[in-house]
Structure 1
Amino acid sequence: MADEGDGRLGTSGALSGVIVADFSRVLAGPYCTMLLADMGATVIKVEGPAGDDTRQWQPPDYDGESTYFLSVNRGKHAIRLDLKDADDLRTAYGIIGAADVFIENYKPGGLAQFGLDAASVERRWPRLIHASITGFGPHGATALPGYDLLAQAASGMMNLTGSPDGPPQRMGVALFDVVTGLHAALGILAALRDREASGLGQRVDVNLMSSALSGLVNQTSGYVAGGVVPHRMGNDHPSLFPYGPFSTGDGILVICVGNDAQFRILSAELGAPEWADDPDFSTMRGRNAHRDRLRELIQDRLSHAGSDEWFTRLRDAGLPCSPILDVQGGVRFAEELGLSPVVEAGTGPSAVPTIKDPIEFSRSRTSYDKAPPRLDEDREAVLTWLAARDQASPDHR
């Protein structure tokens, strides 16, 4: 991995010593690089003159900073550079040359004017991992901007979301951005591992559209392998029943039956053990074929008690079920489970409450030492670090 020079920007963790030049913005790229920073990588966030777009995406805010930006930028060192300025471009080259990973999410061809197109990067820094995130790939859709909602629309996700008799719906979060960020992080780690053996870097290309189609898993598989074009089913699952929200005496409870044994438990707890032996209901195929009749039977039984009582009874019997909570309830439920979902990023008055990295190591440390940076907050530290590296190894770039 790259030498950290005087170590001013170093941190500890499984990826300690890995240096990431982060030229990405908004969500997919920053989510990827935040995960790398959590695991110990030194991430230098390079922003344009106006800063990352998401700094302006508010409300809500925390101490004047967009909570959208805060959600994916802890652990990074921020510097503002105008790549159209010759001095700033030289600084950008210095950061990239010092890095193990260069990640960006410019439109295809957008970096060529700065000498940072794929061919130029490979020629100038042959050991560099160049991760590029686009909306629809680098080939046939260069004019399409990479917004998650466009990928939701074009991939079929929106057509799968919502009531059967209602309009298509977007998801409540830009999930394909997150999935693409995870794919980018996985590709980067694989490329770093390959470099240990080959000594060479490589380009890692990911895009929202491909990530969306991959993320639709059984739905896209149903089409490409089974010839079935899926459609909106509301909260129903195309292959599982009962699997979704059901009305109780005073609310709604989600029940998930994934196999015949679980259906036997549900039948017994609902006071109808004979359902499990009924030929119409005893198999998943049968339950799917007769879901309307079975739904009525289940709803009738659930109507005799409230959601809390059913949740306790079914959970204690070992059946997967859950109340439907809002985000506040979800965080509190995770706290009750001992998952400690909220961590402070940074220390002292500048610390910011954030959601914990979902990856836990038995030995390696996960770092939350640095709060999401203010715009250009770390300019002097980054420039000092670069100067120290130049003195230690003038030819490192």
Structure 2
Amino acid sequence: MTSQALEGVRVLDLSRILAAPFASQLLGDLGAEVIKVERPGVGDDARQYGPPFLSDADGNATRDAGFYLSCNRNKRGITVDHSTPEGAAIVRELAAKSDVLIENFRTGVLAKYGLDYGSLKAANPGLVYCSVTGYGQDGPYATRPGYDGVFQAMCGMMSVSGLPDGQPGGGPMKVGVSMVDILTGLYAANAIQAALRYRDRTGEGQHIDLALLDCGLASLSHFVQNYLISGKVAERRGNGGYGGIPSQTFRCADRDIFVVASTNRQFAALGDALGRADLAGDPRFGDVSRRIENRDALLAILDAEFARRPAAEWLALLETADVPASPVNDVRTVFDNPQIRHRGMLDAVNHVVAGEVPVLRNPIRLSETPIGPSRAPPLLGQDNDAVLHDLLGRSVEDIEDLRHRGII
């Protein structure tokens, strides 16, 4: 069987909700052994973020929400009460046998139990310890709580999302997806792999300090850079973009489509498809910069043209003209897309109580170390006995005693 890229890497996952669990799931997808540690009897808060909840084979709702299922595949699950001396000792033992530890507790919390980086480094100098917090390990906001929507507001993401002021429904708008969480998870997985590369060269681990606020701001990319060189704050453009023009939705006779014709060649082809070859020769729209300068005038013309026909007709003409365009899908219709079906983005896992459960597939394709079949997200404490016995050498009697005392 082909090996996977991160085979042999063990990750101890003390995280909850989305950003950090998303990072550890990505590492698990790439072949790492991920051991997820949760609170006995309660578990990751994300398990409760329903409805919808997963149904078992008999149609009865389980205690696992779809939110939890989205970011916890390819993990083994154990429960440990780290606030007890015995529980903290178990986590320390596991950390000593791990390559990576991921946590997203508030700054300073784990230090109370001897589970901070400084304490664990003493027993495992090669440990890569990744802390994901709202505001980072230092600074005036370091101890504050926070969630994705708060960071979308604080980092400026909401200010550039939504319709312009003065239009119906205008004003700052949160991105529908928990985008700061997802982006932070991607940054975390990237940073962890970089730290592992350094560890493999030097034998030294390190502490990774990731803040959701920092990651949200970094994701604004060219919006921020445009401001830094111009002093002008970006206006909201709804479904319009900030690259070449046009790059936005247009309302056809029956539904919306998204069209991008940012290069001169694409714009000329768009004009031909619309029956408006004159547009490319209009001095207002002759090149990329002029189209940006005269954006409103051009969009008024295009709005009127697209409204003349149904979306399917325009999409067929645009495809023939090699102009990038798409219907605006929802999460139901996206799986009707033949390219999505061909790429196999809809996968399934065999869940211990629900049977076959549909899930999204990891989009990464590696030629030499392909991502293998996915393991279903674990039930709460599903792997307690196996991990404690096989990895830490605890006896059946010891494990039962820990369970009886509520430590696991």
Pick the aligned partner of 1:186 from 170, 178, 190.
190
Whether the 8 Å contact between 2:77 and 2:379 is mirrored in structure 1 is: yes
Q: 1:318 to 1:389 in 2, by over 3 A?
A: farther
Q: What code does the residue aligned with 2:292 have?
A: N
Take 2:51 and 2:261, find their aligned partners in 1: how far apart are those partners? 39
Q: What code does the residue aligned with 2:132 have?
A: I
Q: Post-superposition, which runs of at least 4 consecutive aligned residues in structure 1 deviate over 4 A?
A: 334-337
- The answer to whether residue 232 in structure 2 is matched with residue 228 in structure 1 is yes
Take 2:208 and 2:350, find their aligned partners in 1: how far apart are those partners? 31
Matches within 5 A, 1:224-303: 224-303=228-307
Whether the 8 Å contact between 1:94 and 1:386 is mirrored in structure 2 is: no
Q: 1:369 to 1:330 in 2, by over 3 A?
A: closer
TM (norm. structure 1) is 0.91
% same residue: 36
Q: How big is the alpha-carbon RMSD for the aligned residues of Structure 1 and Structure 2?
A: 1.9
Q: 1:279 to 1:369 in 2, by over 3 A?
A: closer
Take 2:226 and 2:261, find their aligned partners in 1: how far apart are those partners? 20
Take 2:361 and 2:277, find their aligned partners in 1: how far apart are those partners? 42
Deviations 1:166-214 (A, max 9, x none): 2321111101111100111011111111111111111112111111111
- The answer to whether residue 65 in structure 2 is matched with residue 60 in structure 1 is no
Q: Cα offset for 1:148?
A: 0.9
Take 1:198 and 1:336, find their aligned partners in 2: how far apart are those partners? 42
Take 1:331 and 1:207, find their aligned partners in 2: how far apart are those partners? 34
Q: Cα offset for 1:368?
A: 3.1
Q: What code does the residue aligned with 2:9 have?
A: V
Take 1:303 and 1:182, find their aligned partners in 2: how far apart are those partners? 39
> For structure 1, which runs of at least 5 residues remain unmatched after alignment?
1-10, 391-397
Whether the 8 Å contact between 1:335 and 1:341 is mirrored in structure 2 is: no
Take 2:357 and 2:307, find their aligned partners in 1: how far apart are those partners? 44
Q: What code does the residue aligned with 1:133 have?
A: V
Q: What code does the residue aligned with 2:142 have?
A: T
Q: 1:139 to 1:356 in 2, by over 3 A?
A: same
Structure 1 counterpart SS, 2:326: strand
- The answer to whether residue 19 in structure 2 is matched with residue 28 in structure 1 is yes
Q: Cα offset for 1:323?
A: 0.7
Equivalence for 2:116: 117
> For structure 2, which runs of at least 5 residues remain unmatched after alignment?
56-61, 396-408
Q: What code does the residue aligned with 1:192 have?
A: L
Take 1:272 and 1:336, find their aligned partners in 2: how far apart are those partners? 33
- The answer to whether residue 159 in structure 2 is matched with residue 167 in structure 1 is no
Pick the aligned partner of 1:360 from 365, 368, 383.
365
TM (norm. structure 2) is 0.89
Take 1:336 and 1:68, find their aligned partners in 2: how far apart are those partners? 22
- The answer to whether residue 383 in structure 2 is matched with residue 384 in structure 1 is no
Take 1:103 and 1:250, find their aligned partners in 2: how far apart are those partners? 48
Q: 1:132 to 1:334 in 2, by over 3 A?
A: farther
Q: Cα offset for 1:369?
A: 4.0
The size of the alignment, in residue pairs, is 380
